[in-house]
């Protein structure tokens, strides 16, 4: 965001742990949702629902929006 601002290795390690923790929580919740729905595949729907359940308000809206955008970009580039 700001090219003249850096991040210490300790702060980067903390952020890395935070992101890994959130990803794991989303994966566990998505897996739980797929079991509840008697499905053997986790789809984007389960991921979106897990994000909405785990992240508060605006944060979940932005996360779902950015995730959808990333999947769309990936899908269109892999053709």
Domains in the chain: boundaries: 9-77
User: Does residue 1 have a pLDDT over 90?
Assistant: no
pLDDT digits (tens, 9 = 90+) for 44-69: 999 999 999 999 999 999 999 999 99
Mean pLDDT to the nearest integer, 28-43: 96
User: Does residue 5 have a pLDDT over 80?
Assistant: yes
CA-to-CA dists, residue 72 to 17, 47, 51, angstroms: 27, 15, 18
We find that the CATH architecture of domain 9-77 is Orthogonal Bundle (1.10)
Query: pLDDT value at position 78?
Result: 76
Cα maximum dimension of the chain: 50
Give the residue carrying structure tokens 């970009």. Answer: 73
User: Does residue 73 have a pLDDT over 90?
Assistant: yes
């Amino acid at each position: 965001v700001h090219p003249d601002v850096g991040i210490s290795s300790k702060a980067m390690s903390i952020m890395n742990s935070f992101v890994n923790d959130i990803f794991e929580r989303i994966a566990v919740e998505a897996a739980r949702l797929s079991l509840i729905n008697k499905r053997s595949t986790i789809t984007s729907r389960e991921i979106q629902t897990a994000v909405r359940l785990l992240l508060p308000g605006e944060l979940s809206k932005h996360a779902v929006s950015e995730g959808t955008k990333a999947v769309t970009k990936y899908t269109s580039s892999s053709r």
